Amino acid sequence: MSTSIIEVKDLEHQYGDFKAVDGISFTVGKGEIFSFLGPNGAGKSTAINVLITLLKLQKGEASIAGYDVRTEPEKVRESIGIVFQEVTLDRDMTAWEILEFHGRLYGMTRSDRKERIQEILELVKLEEKKDTFVKKLSGGMKRRLEIGRGLMTRPIVLFLDEPTIGLDPQTRMRMWDYIKAVNEEGTTIFLTTHYMDEADNLSDRISIIDHGKIIASGKPWELKNALGQDLIYLETSDNSKTRAIISDLVSVSGVTDKGKGILITTNDDGTKVLPLLIEEIRNSGISVITVNLKKPSMDDVFVHFTGRELRDDKPEKISIAFGRR
């Protein structure tokens, strides 16, 4: 991680009056998997589109693999691979044709294309689907084909914009394995996601982005540690009184209202703190209705930093709930 592959400083991007990206700065080191985590509309895709030169760089500075995004877009294009958020395939072409087209587009020689297509089909396990039309491939296969295509030219950085959107839980996990395998081969990966578990599982480092700004950055465990060791959720007969009683305790690092109860972050092992808390509350004549203890998840981290749950992505939430165990 000594050299940085992506360097971004004070990047801004505006659509009319709306500032989609509002002054973000970050670096991504060689060989890292770096994630932008944020809700839909947070500015993730806009930022990625500026970096891959599909959108003009309006304000700020950005370089990829040592090339300036503003002044050397051609060089940037040659150094990167991209997997777009929406499917970007021709339904009426075969898997082989999709890869061949891509290789030609990037000016690869005939022999290089031939060799590389074979390697890619093996990597994404589509050898047998080589001559199958895209419209006959499953969602996961299409995604794999797109990832394979992104890797055709042996890019230094692979950009993945919401790589597992719309995939079923099992396929998502298999996608994660592919992404990790690609990374282990030495490709730096920049991904955007609004799935907490995806960012948590894949990334070496995460930047949480909301309203066009980076509001927290770090390794997944660092972000989670910012919330204390454990989380305790309590519903009592008198929440406000409970808050007053426990907020002074040494083992409690913070208390916030959540739904019908309160959420407590602890400084100490939650399993030991919880009995003490309940005793204290009972002694004050308050009864405890519901108790829940858990390790902080990325969801909690997100809520902690943004003060709210991920917005406008209800359908996906259901699939997350099923996907996790």
3-state helix, strand, coil in the chain (%, to 5): 40, 30, 30
Is residue 90 part of the contact set for another protein (CB under 8 A)?
Answer: yes
201-240 residues near another protein, rule: CB under 8 A: none
Region from 105-113, 163-171, 175-183, 251-259 binding another protein, contact rule CB under 8 A: 105-113
- Shortest spacing between CB 286 and another protein, in angstroms: 55
CB 140 to another protein: min, Å? 19
Binding mask 67-86 for another protein (x = CB under 8 A): -------x--xx---x-x--
Length of the chain: 325
Distance, C-alpha 49 to centroid of its chain: 16
CB of 143 to another protein, least distance (A): 14
d(CA 247, CA 73): 54
Name the segment binding another protein (CB under 8 A); options: 53-61, 135-143, 215-223, 228-236: 53-61
Residue in 8, 39, 53, 323 binding another protein, rule: CB under 8 A? 53
C-alpha–C-alpha distance, residues 133 and 130, integer Å = 9
Is residue 55 a contact residue for another protein (CB under 8 A)? Answer: yes
Site for another protein in 116-155 (CB under 8 A): 149
Q: Cβ of residue 137: shortest distance to another protein, in angstroms?
A: 15
Q: Other C-beta atoms within 10 Å of 122: how many?
A: 11
Judged by CB under 8 A, how many residues of this single chain contact another protein? 26
- Which residues are CB-contacts of 122 (< 8 A; sequence separation ≥ 6)? none
Nearer to another protein, 144 or 205 (CB): 144
Site mask for another protein (CB under 8 A), range 258-297, x = bound: ----------------------------------------
CA distance 318 to 312: 12
Q: Of residues 105, 181, 244, 318, which one binds another protein by CB under 8 A?
A: 105
Please report whether residue 181 would count as binding another protein according to CB under 8 A: no
- In the complex, least distance from residue 62 CB atom to another protein, rounded to whole angstroms: 15
How near is the Cβ of 77 to another protein at its closest, in Å?
5
- The single residue among 16, 17, 92, 279 that binds another protein, judged by CB under 8 A, is 92
Longest dimension (CA), the chain: 80
Torsion of CA 232, 234, 239, 240, to 10 degrees: 0
Number of C-alpha atoms within 13 angstroms, CB side, residue 122?
6
Nearest distance in Å: CB 51, another protein: 11
Q: Give dist(CA 270, CA 122) in Å, integer.
A: 47
Helices (H), the chain: 44-51, 73-79, 95-105, 110-123, 139-151, 169-184, 196-202, 220-225, 239-246, 270-283, 298-306, 314-323
Residue found by looking up tokens 């042996």 in the block: 154
Least separation, in Å, of the C-beta of 44 and another protein? 12
One of 96, 106, 176, 305 touching another protein (CB under 8 A): 106
Q: 31: which residues sit within 8 A by CB, 6+ positions away?
A: 1, 183, 186, 188
> At closest approach, how far in Å is the CB of 88 from another protein?
5
Binding residues for another protein (CB under 8 A): 45, 49, 52-56, 74, 77-78, 82, 84, 88-93, 97, 101-102, 104-107, 149
